[in-house]
Each structure stands twice: as structure tokens, then as C-alpha cells.
């Protein structure tokens, strides 16, 4: 193969992706003087990555298969805009050998490995065969060509339960299931194959021995076309949920220097087996004693910023320089490890409702400044809409410090200062995770989040005196700011009135709990707040993102967001969501009962798991939806009879649409 066609200088780069990764690549490419081209679907017309790029091309309808996964349209977009190179980002087609080959055939530089390298290492099955020959230790398992259920079942029995059923292509936890008994195997294979086919266009599976209490460690590698292959230390990605990474850090706090060198040398050996060119990640699982190779990701990873922060290397810049045909600028012994970095993934999802994705318009988007060791990689802005068609990640908050403890503290402070409203996010969950004592002491494994879920998703503390006063202050502060916009308004002076002293009553509640009342006294003399028998003097000093509230001489910083009658507050005691009870009545809220089997979000019906007339136990699966590229199974809310199913496989259903009716037992 002519290397001049594979690696050469270019001026215009098309990013075949969306969201925060497209924004991330665009920033480095533009800093290097390159012209950038974004692609987008109908759902992403106003997306941040479209605005950042120099040009943007519409690919097609919202569904990924009709837009971001359409190879022909991507190649045509490059042709239309004069792009000479394509960066695939991660996810979508980033590990698709056919896409890499199509780019080459179209005369485009593919910023990544060749199709041959991708086929060899991107397939979990194929890479295991290579690693076996190279002498890299493997997790026991089956990675053969035969994919019928009988063969996979026999392989699982030979390996011994529990096993991991895992998609040969792709990543991100999609197409992956833990199976602990033979009875669970067939439905797990069917579901995993379906999910893998939808996400990656490939439903081949492998079977691995499931390592109990495992740790997930991965090594960042990068190679150039001159035969240089480097490792850039390792990352610890053990804090996962459903095989999806939640928190990542570098270096691993689990490894000592000798173990670090051993695992990095193994990673270089693994990538060297195919003379790898480009950025990639060699992934390992550890049982606390030994480390086993599990797969290679032939692309950049979501968590690459933690490696960048401890090495000072811009991995996207290095990817582009390798694609130019340049040699890597450093040798292995010139790469230095400096400090510690931790990353948290901010998702549009509700941890208290089984991490159900959340869609809608972002009404408030406040992220901390990128100072003091903080870095923010975001793909959304205030006013953007989170759609149900793609991955739910909004941004990444990353912190660097000289030590792990300080890095964790900085990350937690960054999360505390991150306010996203209009949709539900996992920010409070991430804060709970980072403050958990076992996380601080690194006493974790990949099952930690599931075991500690009740603690990590515990209800916020009830609002106290400070929060009720802050709620009133937030309303008053907003009213004052609105008045300041009108130079003629007498309300520019807080509590202004012609004569006398007035009272104003407020009532708040959390969820559907009891009302808590507070009275504001204002007018002539100092303003006060009365809660029960206590009366407190208070003042408000506005500032960006909130205000300082002084109660009886004690000043507290308060972050506040008001959306109609919904208030979000952050005080020294934590995060609080309060409902401001309408003082004039007229409260009208629709209460959707837990018994209603309805679509939680827009999605596609991919499986019907029970028949009409069937007797169901509580929790029995009824049907499965594909929402945001992940499967969500809807289950019976109580024991009873499945009276009717109001949908069929392939139906695209909207949020709130009733899909099935269960009649309680005994009726």
C-alpha cells in the first residue's frame, strides 16, 4: 500500500462525529491552522459542534443509521467541502474497518489506523488470537467464528459461570451482559446481539470468564508510520456501571512503579503485533494479582484528557501529526508522568430512576472556569436540546493536581459548581461518588457502584433554615435584577413602597411533601425573614451564578436557578430542588402513576417479551425499547395479567405513550 496515500499533509479536516468529541477535535485542529468541517443530522442542526466548525454538512434524518453511520453520505460530505482527511472521533464509525477503507478508496486520509490494523485489533476475537500468539496473557474464553447459540452455550459451559457475553465490535458497554447461570444465557445472547447490531452494525459475540471483583486498567498507546510505538502510562477505569465508565483517573492508584512498567510493556507488545499506527488503547482486567488482556480500542477514548493532563501531550494533535506522516516528537524515555488527573462524565440521565436518559432543552448551563487545574470538555450550551437519538453524555469535568487526593477535591469542587437545568443530570450522583470514603481510599472494583447504589442515589437532605431563606432570597434577587433592567422602576431599591412596612408569605415543598412556610418582612427598617418563632435579619449581594446571603451576620454563598415555580439551590449543605407553591393557587400537576407502563422517552420497540393474557410476577419483563442507543426493558409494576400490548416490534413511540396494560391479580 502506498504510504503517501495513507499519511500526508492536509489542510481541511472533516470530523465524522458529533457532540463533545467533535468539539474537542475541532478546537485542536483549528489551533493547528486546519480548516474544519462538521457533519450533522436533522436533530443536530443547531448543535454546538456545527457552530464551532468552519463548514457543516447535513447528512440526513435524526437516526444514526441514516446520518452519522451512513458511509456514502460522509464520503460525499468530504467531497463537497474539499476535505482531504477524516477524523472519526470515538463511537459511531471510529472502529469500522469498512469506513477506513472507504476513506482510503476516496483518496482521503483517515486519522487512525488502517483498515487492516483495525480488523486485526478492533475485533475482540481477532485481537485475542493475535495476543495469544504474542504471549500476552488472556482472560479464558471463546472467540471463535461459530456464532450459533448452541456453540456459544457450549463455550460458556466450558469456561464456567459467571461469564461475560460481549460484542466482538464496539465498546461503551453496549452488547455486553454478565451471565451467572445457564438459564440466563440465551436471552442475554439475543439481547446483546440485538444491541450490538444496532450500535455497531455487527452482532458477533465472544464469551469470557467473568472475573469477580475486577479492576479495569487501560494503557494509552500511539504509533507513527516510522516504526515508533509509545505508551503514555495507564488509566484506572474501575468505577463503572453496566460496563460504562463513569469516573476515570491517571495514573492508576492500584499499580506500583514495577507493575506500571510491566503493563505498559505488555501494551506496547500487543500493539506492536500489528505494527500499529495511530492512537489506541490496550485494555486489561486485573483480579488483584494478575493482569489479563481483554481488548484493544483502535481509536481515541472518551477518557483521553486524563492522560493529556499527566503527560502534557495533546493526543489529538499527535493523531493529526501522525496522519501528516510525521514522526512522534518524543521517545519513550522522554515521556514524563506529572501529578494525577481524574475525570467525571456528566450525563443527561436520572440516577434515581435507574439512570433513565433525560431529554429536553437545556435552560441553564453553568460550568466552572477552566482554572486551578480544572478542564471542561463540553458538547452542549444553554438553549441546546438533548435528543433521544444519541449517547446522553453532555460534558466531562476533569481535574489535575500534584496528588490524587487534591485532584479528587478539585474535581468535586468543579462538580459542585456545575449547574445544568431543564433536563435531569447525574451531577449529584457524581458528587456522591467522589466523596465516598471507599473511592477516596481506592477500595473499589467494577461492581462497586451497583453495590453502593442506594447510598449514592440517596435522597438529598431536607431543606433547613438556610435553604428556605435562600429560596426567598433567590426569588427576591431575581425580581430585583428584573427591576434593575428598568431604570425608572422604584423597585430598584429592595422592598420599596410608599409608606409603612409589609409582609409577604412564601410556601415551598420538596416533591409532593408538606409545605414549609416562611414570611418576608420589608419596607421601612431592615428586612427580615420569619420561620416559625425565629426572625432573622438578612441582606442579599448579587454575583454571577447566584448571590451572597447574610443571615444574622453570617454570610453564605448560594447558587440559584429559578425555572417558573421550580427552584434549584446549592448551599454549603448540598443541592436542593424546591417547588414554590403558587401563592394564588391554580396548581395543576399531572401525577403519572408508577403503574402506568408507558414509554419513559421517545424510542423504538425492539422486543416484545410477554404475550397478552400471560400471568406475570412483579418485575417480569414485558417489552424492550431502544433509547439513546441503549436498551430499556419495561417490567410489570405488580403481579397480574397482561391485559393488552399496544405496540409492536419496530414501532417508534413517543414519551408518555401507554404501551401495555397489566391488570392486578384478583381483579
**Which whole-number Å values give the CA distances from 440 to 215, 251, 253, 409, 578, in the listed order?**
16, 15, 10, 10, 31
- Cα separation, 516 vs 530, in Å, equals 12
Strand ranges (DSSP E) for 191-228? 205-209, 215-223
Strand ranges (DSSP E) for 402-527? 419-421, 501-509, 516-523
Contact 317, 381 (CB under 8 A): no
- Cα separation, 651 vs 295, in Å, equals 35
Q: Vertex 366, ends 390 and 476: CA angle to 5°?
A: 130
Short-list 230, 70, 211, CA closest to 137: 211
> CB within 8 A of 564, min separation 6: which ones?
none
HSE (side-chain half, CA atoms, 13 Å) at 407: 27
| Partners of 560 in the β-ladder | 569
* 3 state DSSP class of 311: helix
Catalytic residue among 35, 235, 241, 299: 299
The C-alpha cell at 32 is 493547528
The C-alpha cell at 623 is 417489552
Q: Identify the residue whose cell numbers are 472475573.
A: 211
- Cα separation, 166 vs 176, in Å, equals 4
- Cα separation, 319 vs 305, in Å, equals 14
Show the 3-state SS of 74-85. HHHHHHHHCCCE
- 79 catalytic per annotation: no
Give φ, ψ of 145 to 5 degrees. Answer: -75, -35
Contact 74, 59 (CB under 8 A): yes
DSSP 231-253: EEEEEE---EETTEE-EEEES-T
Looking at the annotation, which residues are catalytic? Answer: 299
Amino acid at each position: 500500500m502506498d504510504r503517501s496515500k495513507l499519511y500526508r499533509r492536509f489542510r481541511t479536516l472533516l470530523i465524522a462525529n458529533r457532540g463533545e468529541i467533535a468539539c474537542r477535535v475541532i478546537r485542536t485542529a483549528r489551533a493547528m491552522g486546519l480548516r474544519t468541517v462538521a457533519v450533522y443530522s436533522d436533530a443536530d442542526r443547531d448543535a454546538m459542534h456545527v457552530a464551532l466548525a468552519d463548514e457543516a454538512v447535513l447528512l440526513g434524518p435524526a437516526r444514526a443509521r441514516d446520518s452519522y453511520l451512513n458511509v456514502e453520505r460522509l464520503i460525499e460530505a468530504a467531497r463537497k467541502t474539499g476535505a482531504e482527511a477524516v477524523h472519526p472521533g470515538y463511537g459511531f464509525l471510529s472502529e469500522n474497518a469498512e469506513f477506513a477503507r472507504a476513506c482510503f478508496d476516496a483518496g482521503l486520509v483517515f486519522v487512525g489506523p488502517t483498515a487492516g490494523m483495525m480488523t486485526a485489533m478492533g475485533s475482540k476475537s481477532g485481537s485475542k488470537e493475535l495476543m495469544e500468539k504474542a504471549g500476552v496473557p488472556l482472560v479464558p474464553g471463546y472467540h471463535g467464528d461459530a456464532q450459533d447459540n448452541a456453540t456459544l452455550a457450549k463455550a460458556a459451559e466450558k469456561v464456567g459461570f459467571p461469564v461475560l457475553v460481549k460484542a466482538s465490535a464496539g465498546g461503551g458497554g453496549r452488547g455486553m451482559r454478565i451471565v451467572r447461570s445457564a438459564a440466563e444465557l440465551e436471552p442475554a445472547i439475543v439481547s446483546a446481539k440485538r444491541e450490538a447490531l444496532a450500535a455497531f452494525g455487527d452482532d458477533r459475540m465472544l464469551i469470557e470468564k467473568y472475573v469477580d471483583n475486577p479492576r479495569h486498567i487501560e494503557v494509552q498507546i500511539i504509533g507513527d508510520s516510522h516504526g515508533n510505538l509509545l505508551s503514555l502510562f495507564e488509566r484506572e477505569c474501575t468505577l463503572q456501571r453496566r460496563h460504562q465508565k463513569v469516573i476515570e483517573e491517571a495514573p492508576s492508584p492500584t499499580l506500583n512503579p514495577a507493575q506500571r512498567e510491566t503493563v505498559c510493556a505488555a501494551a506496547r507488545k500487543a500493539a506492536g503485533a500489528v505494527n500499529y499506527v495511530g492512537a489506541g488503547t490496550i485494555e486489561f482486567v486485573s483480579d488483584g494479582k494478575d493482569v489479563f488482556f481483554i481488548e484493544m480500542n483502535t481509536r481515541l477514548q472518551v477518557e483521553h484528557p486524563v492522560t493529556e493532563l499527566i503527560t502534557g501531550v495533546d493526543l489529538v494533535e499527535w493523531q493529526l501529526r501522525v496522519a501528516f506522516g510525521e514522526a512522534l516528537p518524543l521517545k519513550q524515555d522522554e515521556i514524563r508522568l506529572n501529578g494525577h488527573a481524574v475525570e467525571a462524565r456528566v450525563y443527561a440521565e436520572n440516577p434515581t430512576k435507574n439512570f433513565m436518559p433525560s431529554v429536553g432543552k437545556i435552560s441553564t448551563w453553568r460550568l466552572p472556569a477552566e482554572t486551578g487545574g480544572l478542564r471542561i470538555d463540553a458538547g452542549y450550551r444553554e438553549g441546546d436540546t438533548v435528543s433521544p437519538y444519541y449517547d446522553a453524555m453532555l460534558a466531562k469535568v476533569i481535574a489535575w493536581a500534584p496528588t490524587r487526593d487534591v485532584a479528587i477535591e478539585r474535581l468535586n469542587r468543579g462538580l459542585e459548581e456545575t449547574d445544568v437545568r431543564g433536563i435531569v443530570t447525574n451531577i449529584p450522583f457524581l458528587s456522591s461518588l467522589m466523596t465516598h470514603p471507599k473511592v477516596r481510599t481506592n477500595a473499589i472494583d467494577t461492581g462497586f457502584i451497583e453495590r453502593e447504589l442506594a447510598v449514592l442515589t440517596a435522597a438529598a437532605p431536607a431543606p433547613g433554615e438556610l435553604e428556605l431563606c435562600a429560596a426567598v432570597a433567590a426569588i427576591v434577587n431575581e425580581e430585583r435584577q428584573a427591576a434593575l433592567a428598568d431604570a425608572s422602576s422604584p423597585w430598584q431599591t429592595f422592598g420599596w413602597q410608599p409608606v409603612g412596612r409589609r409582609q409577604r408569605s412564601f410556601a415551598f415543598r420538596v416533591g409532593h411533601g408538606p409545605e414549609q412556610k416562611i414570611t418576608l418582612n420589608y419596607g421601612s427598617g431592615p428586612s427580615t425573614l420569619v420561620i416559625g418563632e425565629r426572625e432573622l435579619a438578612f441582606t442579599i449581594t448579587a454575583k454571577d451564578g447566584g448571590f451572597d446571603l447574610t443571615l444574622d451576620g453570617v454570610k453564605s454563598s448560594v447558587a440559584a436557578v429559578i425555572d417558573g415555580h421550580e427552584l434549584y439551590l446549592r448551599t454549603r449543605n448540598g443541592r436542593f430542588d424546591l417547588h414554590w407553591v403558587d401563592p394564588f393557587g391554580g396548581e395543576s400537576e399531572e401525577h403519572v402513576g408508577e403503574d402506568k407502563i408507558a414509554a419513559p422517552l421517545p424510542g423504538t420497540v425492539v422486543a416484545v417479551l410477554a404475550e397478552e393474557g400471560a400471568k406475570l410476577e412483579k418485575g417480569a419483563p414485558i417489552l424492550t425499547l431502544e433509547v439513546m442507543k441503549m436498551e430499556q426493558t419495561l417490567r410489570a409494576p405488580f403481579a397480574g395479567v397482561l391485559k393488552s400490548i399496544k405496540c409492536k416490534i419496530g414501532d417508534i413511540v413517543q414519551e408518555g405513550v401507554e404501551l401495555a396494560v397489566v391488570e392486578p391479580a384478583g381483579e
